[in-house]
Structure 1
């Protein structure tokens, strides 16, 4: 990188009229700016115009969180959030490109400009809103306490004190389990959490009511049950970086169109058999 600090030999005392030094300064300054620009982080898809120019909306998602984002028997990425993401991109006039990552680092991918948005049933919280922007809510669910079918000891969240709860460590569910006094057993998502409960390596998991209903639909004989549920619904939204109001407005408009024309209802019925927007 160009060093703009003056060399002692280049001082005015060695440039009798100072003309050479003055002529060099603009050149040196411009060169320095170019060098700094080269090291500035690229902001791929950082606004709506760039996304439309590229023809792609880059979406971060887990790919391991059924029925929201997962791989079917053929290996294709499918799920409720995946279909919502494709519909949003379609209404922006671009293609959806999904980039998969583990939950614990998923939102951080926005900071690294790896993608333009995260669609992964991300709960809208005041803490997250301090750093990121959310779309209008597009899905609602409740936190449920899941235990083995033969577990009669845990009947409510207050019974988690001293128990092991299988959770994604940075999720809202994990924080709720910890606040309830549970010892957390870290997992990569719902499926792994359920398996730890089924095998007795964890006493419980606090997770999403919709994920549980989908799991029981796929495996009705699985030895797990809901012991308790929170009365208030949690809402999730599409999360983007702050400072991109045009993109946020376009996403909200797309979501409104999806609900108005019946597309949302079709996707919702397909995965849950009910309207999950409320």
Structure 2
């Protein structure tokens, strides 16, 4: 699959590009652009989709070999969407705990990083249709015998990103939550015996144990709650959201989403 990709640029370079766009006197209103260079999608840079992503969240957004090309399920999905929309991509890699602040500050147009839809986020952001559906699981050490469901988390220590749905579920179950930046820290603390469990995404667990078959962890329980993950946008990006939804529908119909799911997980994870 061919993709449109541009190298991540510095903020200073972005400022120069924006200045250049603003200095050309604009274009006719009838062509869907404004004097500031915005496209019909509300992009600051005509023809370029700026994407916020972690780059450290395997298998969704990560660097091959740790320092190579940015790859992953989310990366390939957003690139397939961008190709449908005839847009190039610029990535802004950001830690999870700062990624929504970056969206609000206008550093990027969309987050592609397995963002779970929840009521609080729906109040603050716009979302595309979900492109990943995955149940939650409670992950524990192999020798753990006293955790078999959410009720057993009361008083236990779990490692969670505080801004994730799974962190809210763990807190709601009465767990003492130790804040981490993401799955990598959660599983490290669990393997070291420093926490009792982590509530997380099943697909993330399966990918990790596939890559680390000797990891001394297991799924203690699968939750009724499923994570519906979608692209997140600022409230001013209604046209862009509509375009994403149309592209995602096409990618589902032509089998691209199923193909990418098979590539990374061995199954279609889009519904």
* 8 Å Cα contact 2:53-2:94 kept in structure 1: yes
Residue equivalent to 1:62: 54
Q: Can you list the C-alpha shifts for 1:150-189, whole angstroms capped at 9, x where unaligned?
A: 1112121111111110111111111111111111111111
Residue equivalent to 1:9: none
* 8 Å Cα contact 1:52-1:94 kept in structure 2: no
Query: TM-score under structure 1 normalisation?
Result: 0.80
Residue equivalent to 1:143: 136
Q: Does 2:187 match 1:194? A: yes
Cα distance between partner residues in 2 of 1:158 and 1:62: 32
Cα distance between partner residues in 1 of 2:95 and 2:37: 21
Which structure is larger by alpha-carbon Rg, 1 or 2? 1
- 1:202–1:47: structure 2 CA closer, same or farther, 3 Å change rule? farther
Cα distance between partner residues in 2 of 1:236 and 1:176: 16
Q: Does 2:92 match 1:104? A: no
* 8 Å Cα contact 1:165-1:185 kept in structure 2: yes
2:56 aligned counterpart, secondary structure: coil
Q: How many residues align?
A: 235
Partner of residue 252 from structure 1, selected from 245, 256, 262:
245
* 8 Å Cα contact 1:145-1:229 kept in structure 2: yes
Query: TM-score under structure 2 normalisation?
Result: 0.82
Q: Can you list the C-alpha shifts for 1:122-165, whole angstroms capped at 9, x where unaligned?
A: 11111111111101111101110000011112121111111110
- 1:52–1:179: structure 2 CA closer, same or farther, 3 Å change rule? closer
1:54 aligned counterpart, secondary structure: coil
Q: Can you list the C-alpha shifts for 1:8-49, whole angstroms capped at 9, x where unaligned?
A: xxxxxxxxxxxxxxxxxxxxxxxxxxxxxxxxxxxx997645
Q: Which has the higher helix share?
A: 1
Residue equivalent to 2:171: 178
* 8 Å Cα contact 2:38-2:45 kept in structure 1: no
* 8 Å Cα contact 1:59-1:119 kept in structure 2: yes
Structure 2 residues without counterparts, runs of 5 or longer = 1-35
Residue equivalent to 2:112: 119
Q: Does 2:85 match 1:92? A: yes
Q: Does 2:199 match 1:219? A: no
Cα distance between partner residues in 2 of 1:260 and 1:65: 27
RMSD: 1.7
Cα distance between partner residues in 2 of 1:164 and 1:118: 30
Structure 1 residues without counterparts, runs of 5 or longer = 1-43
Partner of residue 124 from structure 2, selected from 114, 118, 131:
131
- 1:232–1:166: structure 2 CA closer, same or farther, 3 Å change rule? closer
2:224 aligned counterpart, secondary structure: coil
* 8 Å Cα contact 1:47-1:247 kept in structure 2: no
2:159 aligned counterpart, secondary structure: strand
Residue equivalent to 1:165: 158
Residue equivalent to 1:80: 73
Deviates more, 1:156-165 or 1:138-147: 156-165
